[in-house]
Chain A
Amino acid sequence: MNITLTINGSDCELSCEPHDSLRKVLRSAGYYSVRYGSDTGETGAAAVLLDGELISADVMLAAQAQGHAIETIEGLSTPGTLHPIQEAFIETGAIQSGYSTPATILAAKALIDRNPDPTEDEVRDALSGILDRETGYLRPVHAVLRAAAVLRGETPESIDVVTLDPLVDSDGPHTDRDGITEIAPRVVPSVDVPETRIVGKPETKVDAIKLVKGNPAFTDDVHVQGMLYAKVLYSPHAHARIVSIDDSKARALPGVRAVLHHENVPRVRYASGGQSYPNPLPYDQVSFDDKVRYVGDRVAAVAADTEEIALAALDLIDVEYELLPAVFDENEAILDGAPVIHDEPDMEGAHDASHNIVHHLKADTKSVEDGFAAADRVFEQTLRVHQVHATPIENHIAIAAWDSDERMVITSSTQVPFHVRRMLAPLIGLPAKQIRIIKPRIGGGFGVKQEMLIEDIVAHLTMATGRPVRLELTREEEFRSSRTRHPQTVTFKTGVDAEGKLTAQEMRIVANTGPYGSHGLTVQMVSGLRGLSSYNCPAKRFDCKVAYTNLPVPGAYRGYGAPQALFALEAHMEDIADALDMDPIEFRRLNWTNVGDPLDIAQQLGEGDQDASVMPLVTSSGLEEAVAQGARAIEWDRRNDPDWHTPADRPHIRRGLGFAMMMHGTAIPGLDMGGASLKINDDGSFNLLIGATDLGTGSDTVLAQIAAEVVGVGTDDIIVYASDTDMTPFDTGAYASSTTYISGMATKRAADQVREQIVARAALLLDTDEASIDLHDSAAWAPDGRSVSLETIALSTLHQEGQHQIMATASYVSPESPPPYAAQYAEVEVDVDTGQVTVTDLVMAVDCGVPINPVTASGQVEGGMTQALGYGHCEEMAYDEDGRLLNPSFGPYKIYRADEMPHLEAILVQTMEESGPFGAKAIAEIPKDGVAPAIRNAIADATGARITAIPFTPERVWRALQEV
């Protein structure tokens, strides 16, 4: 059928099918800003305006829009210009991946058109239909308020960096906190940080324009001529053998180009976790197997002319299954007699596959038995952490195609393009040189895309058909068949002497890695590392069994074993303090690590190539300052006020405050490596080529700032091109909190070399000595004030004299992993009659060294806390008794929306980490670590209930309250 409508003011006639969604038809017509998050409308990524009102184009038929006026963000501005709302989103740092930014801006426009002076609540309501997994909503909400002010002709509030006076070892004055704009980055400066021009400043994101305008930039925006559509047939059973598979009817369906399954795809074993060579054992996967091991496991894949035909073909594949008993609980899975999940003869590298034990990890420093014997008191506690999903709003998507040289080119939403190339090669029988992986913009990843998840499917289908093939997971498939966070049963046993100092600490874990190892080894290593590194203790022991089960597969998810460990540790430490009748922060302070303290367990639980004779030490810590700043911000002294805990007008409410101390790592020492290449252009601008993958974190911007600082230009003179295996240097990828530190140091080293080359030519042109030259404001300056522009230097070296390309490539691997530290505070209200917990405030003060960009760093903390809030409070993957996921959609799987958020505050406490670029340490993952235990400890403060499992859903809390 044909429909006529107005799009961005122009009359259009479009052809569509009656069942086509408005999203599909708008995208086909070239409005790429209307993005896919799900088919059911609840992500809001496809929101557009219909007659000026915000609607979800997922759940509106194109036919319904016949005769109406549609606005998309493409209509908001022309090339080279921005709408004031778009400007406000850039200025406030409201954009991370930018995947849903067009929809959010349209929501803002509809609101401001109707109500030029909206309140914050009204803004939050307007944004309530657009889920954001990245920012924590704080910056987008304030961007809308700012845009409204600008459009009213008012001067918006200042969002400059606010300097907070230190509180530790300081008699004041202390910065007055009243009146600080909510989104102004708060930085507590350190005296030993050198002055910089670009680093440490809230520079605009280098990719802001394309993201704020909704320009085509993501994998879904790539269309290859002749492209086929893939769909995957997933197992309906948790554990079954495929007795037979008959694809004849599917193949006979017109438009079907290939049907692949275990009978026609070579059996090559691999591990799917995106990790450095050699990938850790076990190699327990093949592209298609004759056995399925969870509901959602791959059975077959189809490529067809359209998505509808591919879906229809799936229904025509006849599979006969022999059902096998399944096991879901990690503790049951390792018992004698449990169903054996990997019984295939070619299974490689599991510790004890016959007992479903993939790994048995052990580490110890000294005898914990001696330490327990020496203790005044010994505490032992078992806690459970559950399974959650990262849920980036952009699902997994990949497109494979042969290029004109008959090389396999795969555009993929991946965090690890270089690992994917290497890991994919043996699966499809091509050498790595025949494969190119391109990472476009990514709509969020958070670890779930640190996996070679679907690239083998599109590659196999392209090889089978000779045609380009596209596969995009639906939201349900993303929930069920991508990767999740590992559930664990964690037991801590701790000896404490009479003063409250730890004498021994043991951490035992039974972890659940689903049916495939993926990241099962290294996530659990990080759990041990994080669980046993925060506090000094003369004897530590780690013992961890990683179990196969028939649950959907855990993998990497921001935090990577640390959120599990720190929930258990910080609940345990809180309860010990309570039992000892000590202040919970004082008890921790007595034991937490300071500068110079050993990170002894790291010697045994490191992945990388480390010098075992060198004990890693803490080299920088701003923890004391972070604890003080966070306490002041959340008004921690209210903990001592009984009246505050029991508000008189609401008799069933108890209030509480909770704390957790966090310590994370910065990259994997001796392993993570990143490369960068920098070259000058005729006009004195630079191309920065990096292997690092910006998932929305702002790492492209941070790396551009580092390069700009060194070569003396503005960030806008650095043109960043990232992560294309043909074009850029290698990088392990975006994980392990490594990009700023590792790729940043590689960038700095390349820029240092470029700087030397620039200075050499400048010295000739200025007739002065090289050592005296300074680079800034896009010029080289002699001490007497004479200067020569970088453009002149570029033209001189490229065209005029002693011609050469000013350029350098460098890489970096770190021998150490300096820990960022943080203090997390939470305020809650508990309804003691119902168990409902309302989280009202989250404050995190973090020492990330020197934040290269305080706005993007604050955004990492705000967004990370919000994800962590979901982990502790409301998110859970729920299953029926047969292992079927009950809630593979947003809503039933509950993530926070804009209109129900607690107050959020991030405080950046500077320290000068000498090993990092310009003093930087990591920031990306530590915000995931402390929210769950801080909420848990706040519930204990409010009610006395000491809960040993997350999430704190109403019934769990109510049941715990019955025990108090």
Chain B
Amino acid sequence: MIQTYARPATLQEALDLLADPHAAVLAGGTDLNGDAAGAPKIAVDLQDLGLSGIDTDGSTLRIGAMTTLQDLVDATDAPSLLRELAHREAPSTIRNAATVGGTIGSSDPESELLAGLLLFDAAVALATATGSAEVRLDDLLDDPTALVGSIITSVTLSTSGATAADRTGRTPMDRPIVMVAGRLASDGIARLVATGVASRPVVIDPNRMDDLEPPADFRGSSEYRRHLAGVLADRIVERLEGGRA
């Protein structure tokens, strides 16, 4: 249970608070506050640190960690696929509070937005007690220990290339059983990411779909998820490479 709420005014103050092992970052709070059992003793609210905002220089996009999902949905500079995935990530009530940094920090295993960030080669900027660092999102999802005691300040994406996504779910806006998104890189080959085929959103190789060992749940067996990933990947590759030709 949260026993102390802190709203630091500077990044350094926040990092000092996070040096306590019982402290954790509070971004929008939509995940953390609903989970009484998993709540930290000290919540460090980042809302006063000026970490929200989106800027672009054409081929890269920098998203401040405290940018809400709704702000990303509304960002006309951002790739339309990323905006769509931010929109699909949560309904209206949650999108105005949940943040991009929080989405990375809580790393929901089925997050479509995380998959989208992966698709755009996201690099996550961290402020740490010893300075700043940049970690590939892909690496961070494998090993989140870099997040302990540090603060996600922004995420940077390279936004070039045509994109597409497809998914299978129980209903149109349900969290998909499997989602596949693709981006046509400068070398002309589609790069694919997927949810629902591993314990986290992953980059997949359309030529090695049989290697996937998706975790099963009541919405889809492992076999079915592998099948879906194959079907959806084929569609995305066809759409992207067909579109290019």
User: Interface residues, chain A, CB within 8 Å of chain B?
Assistant: 1, 18-19, 21, 39-42, 44, 47, 50, 53-56, 58-61, 63-64, 66, 103, 107, 125-130, 308, 831, 833-836, 838, 873-874, 876, 878, 886-887, 891, 894, 896-897, 899-900, 951, 953-955, 958-959
* Contacts A/B (CB < 8 Å), 6 sampled: A18-B3, A54-B93, A873-B170, A886-B217, A955-B177, A955-B221
Do A873 and B171 form a contact, CB below 8 Å, given A18-B43, A41-B93, A897-B91?
Answer: yes
Q: Which of B7, B26, B30, B70 contacts A56 (CB 8 A)?
A: B30
> Contact at A954–B29, with CB atoms within 8 Å?
no
> Contact at B220–A129, with CB atoms within 8 Å?
no
Residues of B within 8 A of A835 (CB): 168
> Contact at B92–A129, with CB atoms within 8 Å?
yes
Q: How many angstroms from the CA of A18 to the CA of B91 in the assembled complex?
A: 26
- Minimal beta-carbon separation of A67 from chain B (angstroms): 9
> Contact at A63–B93, with CB atoms within 8 Å?
no
> Contact at B97–A955, with CB atoms within 8 Å?
no
Smallest Cβ-Cβ distance to A839: which chain B residue:
B171
> Contact at A1–B5, with CB atoms within 8 Å?
yes
Do A874 and B33 form a contact, CB below 8 Å, given A19-B1, A128-B91?
Answer: no
Residues of B within 8 A of A900 (CB): 171-174
Q: Is B228 engaged at the interface, CB distance under 8 Å to the other chain?
A: yes
> Contact at A18–B5, with CB atoms within 8 Å?
yes
Residues of A within 8 A of B227 (CB): 958
> Contact at A60–B29, with CB atoms within 8 Å?
yes
Residues of B within 8 A of A60 (CB): 29-30, 33, 97
**Given contact pairs A63-B45, A833-B231, A953-B219, a sample of 6 additional A-B residue pairs in the complex whose CB atoms are under 8 Å apart:** A55-B97, A56-B93, A60-B33, A61-B5, A894-B170, A955-B221
Residues of B within 8 A of A876 (CB): 218
> Contact at A953–B170, with CB atoms within 8 Å?
yes
Residues of A within 8 A of B219 (CB): 953-955
Do A61 and B33 form a contact, CB below 8 Å, given A50-B96, A886-B218, A900-B172?
Answer: yes
Q: How many angstroms from the CA of A119 to the CA of B193 in the assembled complex?
A: 32
Give chain B's interface residue range (CB within 8 Å of chain A). 35 or more
Do A127 and B92 form a contact, CB below 8 Å, given A873-B170, A900-B172, A954-B169?
Answer: yes
> Contact at B171–A874, with CB atoms within 8 Å?
yes
Most buried by A among B39, B170, B228: B170
Residues of A within 8 A of B96 (CB): 50, 53-55
Q: How many angstroms from the CA of A37 to the CA of B221 in the assembled complex?
A: 31
Q: Which of A127, A130, A891 contacts B175 (CB 8 A)?
A: A891
> Contact at B221–A39, with CB atoms within 8 Å?
no
Do A19 and B45 form a contact, CB below 8 Å, given A61-B33, A958-B227?
Answer: no
- Minimal beta-carbon separation of B200 from chain A (angstroms): 18
Q: How many angstroms from the CA of A18 to the CA of B42 in the assembled complex?
A: 9
Do A58 and B29 form a contact, CB below 8 Å, given A18-B5, A836-B169, A897-B91?
Answer: no
> Contact at A955–B224, with CB atoms within 8 Å?
yes
Q: How many angstroms from the CA of A50 to the CA of B28 in the assembled complex?
A: 12
Q: How many angstroms from the CA of A130 to the CA of B70 in the assembled complex?
A: 16
Smallest Cβ-Cβ distance to B34: which chain A residue:
A40
> Contact at A61–B175, with CB atoms within 8 Å?
no
Do A887 and B218 form a contact, CB below 8 Å, given A53-B70, A59-B29, A834-B168?
Answer: yes
- Minimal beta-carbon separation of B63 from chain A (angstroms): 18
Q: How many angstroms from the CA of A874 to the CA of B170 in the assembled complex?
A: 6
Q: How many angstroms from the CA of A18 to the CA of B23 in the assembled complex?
A: 13
Q: Which of A56, A66, A894, A951 contacts B97 (CB 8 A)?
A: A56
Residues of A within 8 A of B218 (CB): 876, 878, 886-887
- Minimal beta-carbon separation of A880 from chain B (angstroms): 9
Q: How many angstroms from the CA of A19 to the CA of B3 in the assembled complex?
A: 7
Q: Which of B3, B92, B169, B220 contacts A54 (CB 8 A)?
A: B92
Q: Is B245 engaged at the interface, CB distance under 8 Å to the other chain?
A: no
Most buried by A among B1, B26, B35, B94: B94
Q: Is B140 engaged at the interface, CB distance under 8 Å to the other chain?
A: no
Do A894 and B5 form a contact, CB below 8 Å, given A125-B92, A126-B92, A129-B93?
Answer: no
> Contact at A64–B92, with CB atoms within 8 Å?
no
Q: How many angstroms from the CA of A308 to the CA of B228 in the assembled complex?
A: 45
**10 closest A-B pairs (Cβ-Cβ)?**
A129-B93, A40-B34, A878-B218, A129-B91, A128-B91, A19-B2, A18-B5, A900-B172, A63-B5, A129-B92
Q: Is B59 engaged at the interface, CB distance under 8 Å to the other chain?
A: no
Q: Is B47 engaged at the interface, CB distance under 8 Å to the other chain?
A: yes
- Minimal beta-carbon separation of A5 from chain B (angstroms): 13
Residues of A within 8 A of B168 (CB): 831, 834-836, 954
Most buried by A among B43, B45, B91: B91
Q: How many angstroms from the CA of A126 to the CA of B26 in the assembled complex?
A: 25
Q: How many angstroms from the CA of A47 to the CA of B90 in the assembled complex?
A: 14
Q: Is B130 engaged at the interface, CB distance under 8 Å to the other chain?
A: no
- Minimal beta-carbon separation of B109 from chain A (angstroms): 13
Smallest Cβ-Cβ distance to A114: which chain B residue:
B74
Residues of B within 8 A of A886 (CB): 217-218
> Contact at A61–B93, with CB atoms within 8 Å?
no
Smallest Cβ-Cβ distance to A895: which chain B residue:
B171
> Contact at A64–B91, with CB atoms within 8 Å?
no
Q: How many angstroms from the CA of A126 to the CA of B91 in the assembled complex?
A: 8
> Contact at B94–A894, with CB atoms within 8 Å?
no
Q: How many angstroms from the CA of A684 to the CA of B127 in the assembled complex?
A: 73
Q: Which residues of chain B from 31 to 52 have any CB-CB distance to chain A below 8 Å in the complex?
A: 31, 33-36, 39, 43, 45, 47
Smallest Cβ-Cβ distance to A43: which chain B residue:
B93
Q: How many angstroms from the CA of A227 to the CA of B92 in the assembled complex?
A: 35
- Minimal beta-carbon separation of A442 from chain B (angstroms): 23
Map CB proximity to A onto B215-245 as digits: 1 under 8 Å, 0 otherwise.
Answer: 0011111001001100110000000000000
Residues of B within 8 A of A19 (CB): 1-3, 36, 39
Q: Is B4 engaged at the interface, CB distance under 8 Å to the other chain?
A: yes
Q: How many angstroms from the CA of A19 to the CA of B173 in the assembled complex?
A: 31
Residues of B within 8 A of A873 (CB): 170-171
Q: How many angstroms from the CA of A954 to the CA of B171 in the assembled complex?
A: 9
Map CB proximity to A onto B91-106 as digits: 1 under 8 Å, 0 otherwise.
Answer: 1111111000000000
Residues of A within 8 A of B173 (CB): 128, 897, 899-900
- Minimal beta-carbon separation of A826 from chain B (angstroms): 14
Residues of B within 8 A of A128 (CB): 91-92, 173
- Minimal beta-carbon separation of B174 from chain A (angstroms): 5
Residues of B within 8 A of A129 (CB): 90-95
Residues of B within 8 A of A39 (CB): 34, 36
Residues of B within 8 A of A959 (CB): 224
Q: How many angstroms from the CA of A129 to the CA of B232 in the assembled complex?
A: 28
Q: Which residues of chain B from 14 to 36 have any CB-CB distance to chain A below 8 Å in the complex?
A: 26, 29-31, 33-36
Q: How many angstroms from the CA of A59 to the CA of B29 in the assembled complex?
A: 6
Smallest Cβ-Cβ distance to A958: which chain B residue:
B224
- Minimal beta-carbon separation of B127 from chain A (angstroms): 21
- Minimal beta-carbon separation of A220 from chain B (angstroms): 19
- Minimal beta-carbon separation of A85 from chain B (angstroms): 16
Residues of B within 8 A of A103 (CB): 93
Map CB proximity to A onto B128-145 as digits: 1 under 8 Å, 0 otherwise.
Answer: 000000000000000000
Q: Which of A64, A130, A894 contacts B29 (CB 8 A)?
A: A64
Most buried by B among A19, A103, A130: A19
- Minimal beta-carbon separation of A237 from chain B (angstroms): 20
> Contact at A894–B171, with CB atoms within 8 Å?
yes
Q: How many angstroms from the CA of A954 to the CA of B26 in the assembled complex?
A: 36
Residues of A within 8 A of B221 (CB): 955
Most buried by A among B33, B36, B93, B175: B93
Residues of A within 8 A of B228 (CB): 834, 954
Q: How many angstroms from the CA of A58 to the CA of B177 in the assembled complex?
A: 27
Q: Which of B29, B90, B171 contacts A896 (CB 8 A)?
A: B171
> Contact at A954–B93, with CB atoms within 8 Å?
no
Q: How many angstroms from the CA of A955 to the CA of B219 in the assembled complex?
A: 7
